[in-house]
Structure 1
Amino acid sequence: MSDQNSDPQLTLPRRQYIQLFEPDFLAWPPTKYLKNSDVQQWLYRNLFDTSQNTRLPPESYQMRVLRQLIGKIEKAIEENPTKDKISNKLTECLTHLINHSVPSESEEVREDAYVTFTCLSEKGSSNNSQPDELDPTITLLERRYLVSGSRTTGFRTWEGSLHLGSYLLTEEGSRRVRGKNVLELGAGTGFLTILAAKHLQAKHVTATDGDEGVIQALKENLALNHVDEAHKVRTETLTWGPFSDESWIKADCASHPYDVIIGADITYDKVAISALVLTLQDLFDMRPGLQVIIAGVVRNAETFQMFRDQCAHHRFVVEDIEFEPRPMRQQKALFYAAAMPIKILAISRGSKTMQV
């Protein structure tokens, strides 16, 4: 058989699995392929073996996936059960999970969970021999159930961030951050900050969020991904609105003159939009040549249009970046639903004549 570590029939479902993709949508290989004992060993070693994988999904998720996998293998070996077998490792693993008082599916969503995102550029992955080295990844500890009293949703990575990340991994998108000083607004879990700092060669990234708890979790995710917070990334709490004279952001911009602002899933709240636009206004005052890239799922067309209108009122130039999400079954990395429109906007300050 070909090298299984680079076999797309196996690496694709593994990428989906470590991102906690919904089990019913995992892209398993054909059932006849699953009969192969080497394939079953590979799946056990790379999806369930705790000695080989230190940051596996929650056990409840593992059990749901393993039940489905064993069911598919049983179907595959029905024609010749005396010749074809199910790996003992897989069945023993399922027995262990069943006997281990694994939380129910409803309890599972309340668990902190490692989520690993595969960050492939247009050129695809490398051909290193070990699965963890095969693809560039970002691993985040997410608290998907947690929404704070301040309506913060920054403890999980949302579709807008993954869509913007997919764009930044293209050649066109990567040029926007490579070698640049980047400021992220509403950084949340830190996915885009880590992507820019770790995989896209940003010069420096300042990651901000309005919630102190989110910033603390972001710091933990930076350490988890071995991103040098002392030199490569700065994390700060930032409340949107006009900057005060003593604002730390002015000193930070003097030290690391911002070239580009990024933000994802930050235009869903009508209450916050005016403050966000005022923040952009002050940033343009500090750095008139700034380029701003904002992505978001259009859950409410009226709210998204309100953001556009507020930008127009401040004489910002707003352009749509043409980058459509791939249908889920065509995605090879950064898996996310695209049932609702997802937009990416490029925003810049208008010329002096436009601002008169």
Structure 2
Amino acid sequence: MALSERSSVQGSVKEVLREFQVSFFALTRLPSFPWTFVEKDLQSSGSSELISQVLKQFPPSVRYRRLFLSQLIRRLEASGCEPLDELYDALAEVVGAEETMECYKSYLLPAGGAVSLMENIALISEGTTGLVTWEAALYLAEWALENQQVFTGRTVLELGSGAGLTGIAVCRSCSPKRFIFSDCHSTVLQKLRDNVRLNGLSEQTTPAVSVEKLDWTAISEEELREIGADVIIAADVVYDPDIAGSLAKLLSIVLRCSSAEGLPQVFICSTIRNLETYGGFKQQLEAEGVGHEVIPAPVNHVFPYNRQSAIELIKLRR
């Protein structure tokens, strides 16, 4: 095999390996896995080093690991290959393990490393949706990775940070000067603080990071000026018509809080689940004198999520 062909094959193997790791760490649906590659790797190497490597990272949920290992062993048996003892041992460890409501998810970054988060298994828990990562947060993070200049050297405020995926990705990859995570639910804030620490971020790091309680209905223009954000971002915060009005008023105040460099840049990313709710939010923005433009979608697919969902990123303007 020519050197160029060998390099091409090696490159393809690395791409598939990364796809496998990305899918596993983010708890992607099992049918989407590159199973054939994994089977061939185990058969040819005679080692479960690949599986061991990922299972030793921040572990996904007990149920997910059990389903994954059971599926892999079944596929190996069906192909006539005797599964390795290490796979049976790994399955035995999780068969009797206690299920919990929380698990780790890790989202691999293009430049290396990962954003690792403790998230809830249930989409809605303790009366909030903020304990899991939603699709718009992944979409916004992908856009940020392609537009790092928007955040470099800036003070960034994130509204409704939830589990923290977008903000941590920006801090790890986009070199902001300062980043303020915010939310209003006490349980979400505690989980957010834990996830920020898990990823090695704090007031003493670069960038300097803080986690703040921010009530959209109570924060004043003076308080927003004190924050001094150059860039404001939010993902999946337009889902409840009862809070859309408060958010529109807050964003109107934000755009009045000009700095020496001019108006802050404001980006809102939304999964459009209900056209009436989303359209109503835009109407309330217009009523507050706030216009918007739709920003093109990110080109590179970094994180696994349902790309059939209707997601829109808008930039606000006065």
Q: TM-score, normalised by structure 2?
A: 0.87
Q: Match for residue 138 of structure 1?
A: 115
- SS of residue matched to 1:117: strand
Equivalent AA in structure 1 for residue 289 of structure 2: R
Cα 1:23–1:102 change in 2 (3 A) is farther
**2:25 paired residue among 13, 18, 43:** 18
| 1:240 aligns to 2:237 (yes or no) | no
Equivalent AA in structure 2 for residue 64 of structure 1: L
Q: Match for residue 225 of structure 2?
A: 250
Contact persistence 1:165–1:195 (CA under 8 A): yes
- Give ranges in structure 1 of 5+ residues lacking alignment: 79-83, 126-134, 350-356
Q: Match for residue 139 of structure 2?
A: 163
Cα 1:144–1:234 change in 2 (3 A) is same
How many Å separate the matches in 2 of 1:64 and 1:8? 24
**2:45 paired residue among 38, 44, 48:** 38
| 1:62 aligns to 2:65 (yes or no) | yes
Q: Match for residue 91 of structure 2?
A: 94
- SS of residue matched to 1:299: coil
TM-fit CA distance, 1:111: 1.9
| 1:218 aligns to 2:221 (yes or no) | no
**1:119 paired residue among 109, 117, 122:** 109
Percent identity for Structure 1 against Structure 2 = 25
Cα 1:277–1:39 change in 2 (3 A) is farther
Contact persistence 1:242–1:279 (CA under 8 A): no
Equivalent AA in structure 1 for residue 84 of structure 2: S
- SS of residue matched to 2:27: coil
- In angstroms, what is the RMSD of aligned CA positions? 2.6
**1:337 paired residue among 302, 306, 316:** 306
Cα 1:45–1:294 change in 2 (3 A) is same
- SS of residue matched to 1:56: coil
- Residues 293-332 of structure 1 aligned to structure 2 (within 5 Å): 293-323=267-297, 331=301
Deviations 1:135-189 (A, max 9, x none): 321001112327456x42111110000011111111xx21211221111000111
Cα 1:243–1:56 change in 2 (3 A) is closer
TM-fit CA distance, 1:338: 2.4
Equivalent AA in structure 2 for residue 318 of structure 1: H
- Give ranges in structure 2 of 5+ residues lacking alignment: 1-5
How many Å separate the matches in 2 of 1:157 and 1:310? 26
How many Å separate the matches in 1 of 2:251 and 2:289? 11
Equivalent AA in structure 1 for residue 87 of structure 2: L
Cα 1:47–1:152 change in 2 (3 A) is same
TM-fit CA distance, 1:318: 0.4
Q: Match for residue 249 of structure 2?
A: 278
Cα 1:345–1:117 change in 2 (3 A) is same
- SS of residue matched to 1:309: helix
Equivalent AA in structure 1 for residue 288 of structure 2: H
Equivalent AA in structure 1 for residue 144 of structure 2: L
TM-fit CA distance, 1:334: 1.1
Cα 1:25–1:216 change in 2 (3 A) is same
- SS of residue matched to 1:221: helix
How many Å separate the matches in 1 of 2:299 and 2:281? 22
- SS of residue matched to 1:302: helix
Deviations 1:208-255 (A, max 9, x none): 11212211111111110001234611211111136337x6443232xx
| Number of corresponding residues | 306
How many Å separate the matches in 1 of 2:78 and 2:317? 57
Contact persistence 1:163–1:325 (CA under 8 A): no
TM-fit CA distance, 1:310: 1.4
How many Å separate the matches in 2 of 1:242 and 1:282? 12
Contact persistence 2:163–2:188 (CA under 8 A): yes
Contact persistence 1:242–1:282 (CA under 8 A): no
How many Å separate the matches in 2 of 1:39 and 1:225? 34
Instruction: Point out the more displaced range, 186-195 or 67-76.
Output: 67-76
Q: Match for residue 3 of structure 2?
A: none
TM-fit CA distance, 1:37: 4.4
Contact persistence 1:60–1:102 (CA under 8 A): no
